[in-house]
């Protein structure tokens, strides 16, 4: 299907600064987490309207702060040059940067979470 942002796996240990006796806590890894029995990705919904996908991409790559440079012309993930592929990349980039929550993969109903690597 194309290139996708895949976050780092594993957990890191953090300590609460406000604790008198620091208690180690484990936070989820940045990037992909294990919500659905493994790694998850956010992809564009086939059948979503071109208008809705374009608006969602514009938001994700603009105000949303997703790194969409890999899907620019001539970049590593530009091909396949389809709206669905570019939207999936943008949505997944935003999703990975924002904790892999269902809310971070909504985009007005144009996206959904999957647990199978879409780049295969």
> Which has more pLDDT, 16 or 46?
46
Which among 25, 32, 30 has a CA at the least distance from the CA of 4?
32
Three-state DSSP class for 88? helix
pLDDT at 74: 94
Mean of pLDDT over the chain:
77
Q: Where does residue 109 rank: exposed (0-12), middle (13-18), buried (19+ CB within 10 A)?
A: exposed
Q: Where does residue 30 rank: exposed (0-12), middle (13-18), buried (19+ CB within 10 A)?
A: middle
Q: Summarize pLDDT for 54-83 with one digit per residue, the tens.
A: 999 999 999 999 999 999 999 999 999 999
Strands (E) across the chain are located at 12-15, 24-27, 41-44, 111-114
Peptide bond before 93: cis, by omega within 30 degrees of 0?
A: no
> Which has more pLDDT, 48 or 23?
48
> Which has more pLDDT, 36 or 79?
79
Cβ neighbors of 45 (< 8 A, separation 6 or more) are 109, 110, 111, 112
Given a contact cutoff of 8 angstroms between Cβ atoms, the answer to whether 13 and 1 are in contact is no
pLDDT > 50? residue 116:
yes
pLDDT average, residue stretch 9-35: 39
């Amino acid at each position: 299907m194309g290139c996708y942002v895949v976050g780092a796996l594993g957990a890191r240990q953090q300590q609460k600064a406000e604790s008198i006796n620091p208690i180690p806590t484990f936070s989820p890894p940045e990037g992909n987490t294990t919500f659905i029995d493994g790694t998850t990705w956010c992809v564009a919904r086939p059948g979503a309207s071109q208008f809705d996908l374009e608006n969602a991409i514009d938001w994700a790559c603009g105000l949303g702060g997703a790194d969409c440079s890999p899907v620019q012309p001539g970049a590593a993930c530009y091909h396949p040059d389809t709206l669905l592929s570019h939207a999936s990349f943008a949505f997944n980039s935003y999703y990975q940067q924002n904790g892999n929550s269902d809310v971070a993969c909504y985009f007005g109903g144009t996206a959904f979470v999957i647990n199978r690597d879409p780049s295969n």
